Amino acid sequence: MAVRVPSIPSGTKMGGGRYVVVRELNRGGVAVVYKGIDGETGEKVALKVLELGPVEAADMVKGRVEREIRHLAEVRHENIVSLLNVFVDGDQLVIVLELIEGYDLLEVLNRKDGVLAEDQARHYFLQLLSGVEFMHEHHKICHRDLKPENCMIELKTDKLKIIDLGLSKRLQSARTLGVGTPGYMAPELLHVGNNTVGQYDASLADVWSLGSTLYLMTTGFQAWEDPNHPKDISKTLYNCIAGRYRKLPPHLQNTALADLLKKMLVPSPYERLTLQAVREHEWVSG
Instruction: Please list the active-site residues.
Output: 145
Burial (CB count within 10 angstroms: exposed 0-12, middle 13-18, buried 19+), residue 226: middle
Residues paired with residue 20 on neighbouring β-strands, in sequence order: 13, 37
Q: Tell me phi and psi for residue 162, to 5 degrees.
A: -80, 135
Rounded CA gap, 160 and 105, in Å? 8
Q: Which of 62, 63, 69, 67 is nearest to 48 (CA)?
A: 69
Q: Which residues contact 110 (CB under 8 A, 6 or more apart)?
A: none
Residues in the chain: 286
What is the Cβ-side half-sphere exposure of residue 162, based on CA atoms within 13 angstroms?
Answer: 33
Rounded CA gap, 214 and 108, in Å? 14
Q: How far apart are the first and last CA of the chain?
A: 47
Q: Which of 163, 173, 189, 171 is nearest to 274 (CA)?
A: 171
DSSP string covering 106-143: HHHHHHTTT---HHHHHHHHHHHHHHHHHHHHHH-EE-
For residue 42, give the 3-state DSSP assignment.
Answer: coil
Rounded CA gap, 231 and 245, in Å? 16
